Chains A and B, each alone.
Chain A
Amino acid sequence: MGRVRTLAERLLRAMLRHAPEERRAWVEAMLRELDFIGLDSEWGEWAALSWALGCTTAIFRECVRGWGTWLGKRCLNLLGVQSEKGEKKMNSTGKKTLGVLAGVGLALALGVSLFFLRNVIADMLLAVGIPRTMWSHILSVIVPAEAIVVVAAILLWRKRRAPIAVGMLLTGFVMAAHVVVTLATH
């Protein structure tokens, strides 16, 4: 077995260890298929890696979906909607509120992640000779975060997920306002 195929197998084995219990059989299935991929092709090893990467993405998306469902149920409970029957009866205002809250949550999660990564990003910039200044921080952390928020909001809007997009944009606007105020006071 070549190095690339070994890498693909290791990737799927790692997924097998970390996948949610209810999806392990599926990861096992993906892993078993790997033995049959690209056997008749010159680029078979790369096809196997592509297969493993696709499967990893699929499982990761399933995990995120699972967390989303869990979070949604918690939010519904917070909004006072308790039962399955109640969920179905939830009015459109409730759904929109939930969507906006989800958007705010997503944007905040992105902001917090980048905030924790700011030192790593600064060290990486330093390694390529860019000193740590306020502007390097703004351009390497804040601008990308804002850009991601805006692009995600546009994509969500186009997918008819307007409440989530609004939530993200609101948070992005507050973050941008915070940066402007900070710059002005400096």
Chain B
Amino acid sequence: MKLKLSPQTVLILEAFLDHPAEWKYGYDLSRLTGLKSGTLYPILMRLADRKLLETSWETSELGKPPRHMYRFTPEGMQFAREQRTSRGTGPVGLPILNEAQG
């Protein structure tokens, strides 16, 4: 699958790989990866467009607006694992990339 894997995309894939079955929110991903919204959302959009991420609206409590959530599709999980293997890095690589982000 052709997808530009920038260091920021790698960070996001790694963040999802930590707990692949869990739904994640945009702000939580931003905090986890240290990416600003202007960088984070285009990558999420691209991943969702390529069916690597599935999105859903959280069923909200009364009076609370719903939040958008994201998690890997089976294809996304396979893709991320393949990419991790081909990069030859495990989850250990994540803090190093985080440091590079400043």
Contacts and interface: CB of A to CB of B under 8 A. Distances in A.
Contacts of B36: 50-51, 54
B17 to A, nearest CB: 22
A25 interface: yes
Interface stretch (A55-63, A68-76, A102-110, A165-173): A55-63
A54 B65 contact: no
Contacts of A25: 55, 68
A32 B42 contact: no
Nearest to B65: A32
Contacts of B27: 33, 36-37, 51
Given A36-B25, A50-B36, A30 B65 contact: no
A95 interface: no
A61 B42 contact: yes
A29 B66 CA distance: 9
Contacts of A54: 36-41
Interface residues of A, number: 22
Contact of B67 (A23, A32, A50, A62): A32
Contacts of A52: 37
A58 B37 contact: yes
Contacts of A30: 26, 37, 41
Given A58-B38, A58-B41, A62-B45, 9 more contacts: A26-B41, A35-B65, A36-B25, A36-B67, A52-B37, A54-B40, A54-B41, A55-B37, A58-B42
Shortest Cβ-Cβ A-B pairs, 7 listed = A29-B68, A54-B38, A54-B37, A57-B38, A58-B41, A33-B27, A54-B36
Interface of B: 25-27, 30, 36-42, 44-45, 55, 65-68
